[in-house]
Structures are given as structure tokens and as C-alpha cells.
Amino acid sequence: MAEKQKNIMEDIARDFIKHSLTMRYDICTCGQCKEDMVASALTTLPVENVPLQAVSASLIDETKLKYKAELARAMFNAIDMVSKNPSHKLTEDRIESFRLLLNNILEDRGLDFRQYNQGVIRRKVGYRMHMNGVSSYGEYARFLRKSPDEYEKMLEALCINVTEFFRDMEVWVTIRYLLETLINQKKLKGHNTLRIWSAGCSSGEEPYSLAIVLKELLKAGLKNFSFELYATDIDKKCLLMASDGVYPKNNLKNVEEKYLKSYFTLLGDGNYRIKEEIKNMVKFQYLDLIKQDFLRETDVIVCRNVFIYFNRELQEQLLKKFYFSLCPGGYLIKGKAETIINEASGYHFEDVDTNARIYRKLIPTDSLVK
């Protein structure tokens, strides 16, 4: 009697679907749709029949690795196809429900997330829905109306920008050199003020890092020079944390020991407080990058890992606003995962340092600072 065989790709496909759809509230994830997704994927995946007794976790892991590319392609195609063409009538227009949820947030709190990167926003909202056992956007909207605490948690999740002191340390070597060069150029022209804007400053680690660099430059001999360092964000809770200036040790892992001793005070609970001489260098304020007027005549704008939250159209709008905020020859510093989009060439930015994502506002006949 022939030994029973099993196509282990079925188990692999079901496991993939299970984990991929955990927080997907933008598509139908009912049992029927999940089975249809598995069936669709299996039509393009290779068959891997093995004896039932030979099926093991290690064999499944080996098979996943062997067909890694094929699995990803087949599964994502199946999810996309079935979600767009379900075999049953849908009870909710999820796209419309999500749009209404964002409209409610705008009406209730004045925060407009409709032009943000929708994939990022859906994932963050999905996480909050998952944490509260909510299964649809409509149900979550109703839940928010009854739960002010959850509303605050959801807004915090949407606004938060993960950060730390001297994030991407190699970039800060370039930033220090740039600031020092700008200061020396200004002194040669008889100017003695440098204006810097940290846009989307989150809980303050980035502007305080800038302040430490500037403080060190002053100690290095750049006397009779002043700085205007502004830091803005849309998250009022983050701004309160920034103004307080208390941080866990993990957020300071990139801070050199000499800076830790000079500019921070170790507290009894193991956290660190930024010293007043650094805190007083930064002016924190609320600012909605989408709706409000921008600062003007800025020498340097640092806006790292903020553009990734916006869709392409809004990225272009912000870049144009940053262009007009910068003084002639001013610099824009973006996050390592961000670039100047092609359409931005009309705003006359020049790539100064590709690795550090530093761009310079150009004016006619302008040339790079060497």
C-alpha cells in the first residue's frame, strides 16, 4: 500500500496567509477569502509532495527558504487578486470606511492624515484596532467616540516619529562639518547668526543633538556667534516630552561619553536629563507642516524620516515650502531612506552629499560649497 503523501506547500501557504492578514483591515479576511487566497497561490506554486510521516518543522523551514521568492510573489498576488475580486458580496466598503475615519479625525481634532502615506497610516491604525479587538474601520470609529483614552493613544501612534540622539552617527560627522563650514562662511561675510529648523522634531532628541554639536563648535573657538534653533512638531505630547528633556538610557546609546558627562544629568530612576545650557538653546513650538506657515530665512532645515509619512503629492508640496523657507544657498537634510523626488528639480535643490541626504537650495549661477 502506497504511503500517503502531503503537499506541504498548502501548510506553508496557509501559514503565510495567517500571519500576513493579522492586521489587514483594508480587505476582507473572512475564512472563505483566506481559503480562496490559498487556492489561488497553489495554482502557481510548485508541488512539494512528501510522506506524511516525513513532515516536520525543519522540512517546512527548508522548503520556505528554497522557494522564498516564489512564495512571496505567489502569495502577494493571490492576496491582491482575491481581495479585489472576492467570491461573496462584501458587507462593508473598507476604503470608504477608512476615508470616513480619517475625516472624523480631521473634524474632531483638526489633524488631517488624508494626504499622509496611506499604507503607513493603515498599519498604525490597524495596530490600535488589533490591540482593542476591533475588526472594522466603522467599528473602530464608533469605539473612538466612546473612548477618549483610545483616541489619544491612536493619535500618538499616528504622530510618533521614532528617534534617538545622533541617529545614524556617520551622518552627524557630515552635519558637524556642514555647520562649521556655514559658520565660517558667515563670519567672513560679517554675519554672526545661524538659523536652524528641526522640522518634525518628535520628542527632541534631534534638536538637542544639534544643540550639542553647536555648543561644541563654540567651545572650539567660534566665539561671538549666536544660534537660533527652532524645533517643531504636530504632536503636543511629544513637544511636552521634549521640553521636559528626560530620556531613557537607550535613547542615548550614540552619545559619546564626554558629551554624556558634560550635557546630561543621571537621575535616580536611571533616566537622563538634558542640562539647561543645552535645553535653553532650543525653541520648541507646535507647527502643522501641512496647514501652517513656515519659518523664513532659515540656513538649515533638518527634516529626517518625516517625508516617508506623506504621499507623493504632499512630499512635493512640503519640498516647495521648504525651498521658500530656506535662505539662498540654505541646506535641507533628510532621512537616510529619503531622497529628493524627480519633480523636485523644479525647486532647484542640488545634491551635496548623497549618503547623508544633504541638499542645497540653488539660485542662478550658484555653486556648491567646497
Whether residue 24 has pLDDT greater than 80? yes
Query: What is the model's pLDDT at position 221?
Result: 67
Cell 558637524 sits at which residue? Answer: 176
Between CA 9 and CA 173 the distance in angstroms is 49
From the list 48, 53, 92, the residue with the least C-alpha distance to 66 is: 48
CATH 3.20.20.410, domain 169-361, yes or no: no
Whether residue 223 has pLDDT greater than 80? no
Question: Are the C-beta atoms of residues 298 and 197 closer than 8 Å to each other?
Answer: yes
pLDDT in tens, 50-62: 888 888 889 999 9
From the list 119, 5, 14, the residue with the least C-alpha distance to 71 is: 14
Q: Containing H/E element for 183?
A: helix 169-188
Query: What is the model's pLDDT at position 370?
Result: 39
Evaluate whether 94-159 and 169-361 have a shared fold: no
Query: In which band, very low, low, confident or very high, does the pLDDT at 317 lie, cut at 50, 70 and 90?
Result: confident
Identity (one letter) of the amino acid at 291?
K
pLDDT in tens, 164-202: 999 989 999 999 999 999 998 998 888 989 999 999 999
| pTM of the predicted model over 0.85 | no
Question: Are the C-beta atoms of residues 263 and 282 closer than 8 Å to each other?
Answer: no
Query: What is the model's pLDDT at position 225?
Result: 84
Query: In which band, very low, low, confident or very high, does the pLDDT at 63 lie, cut at 50, 70 and 90?
Result: very high
User: What percent of the chain is predicted at pLDDT more than 90?
Assistant: 59
Query: What is the model's pLDDT at position 110?
Result: 67
Give residue limits of the domains in the chain: 5-84, 94-159, 169-361
Whether residue 244 has pLDDT greater than 60? yes
Query: In which band, very low, low, confident or very high, does the pLDDT at 108 lie, cut at 50, 70 and 90?
Result: confident
By CB neighbour count within 10 A (0-12 exposed, 13-18 middle, 19+ buried), where does 271 fall?
middle
What CATH number has the domain spanning 94-159?
1.10.155
Question: Are the C-beta atoms of residues 144 and 150 closer than 8 Å to each other?
Answer: yes
Provide the 3-class DSSP secondary structure of residue 350. Answer: strand
Cell 542640488 sits at which residue? Answer: 350
What size, in residues, is the chain?
370
Whether residue 246 has pLDDT greater than 60? yes
Between CA 168 and CA 173 the distance in angstroms is 10
Whether residue 314 has pLDDT greater than 70? yes
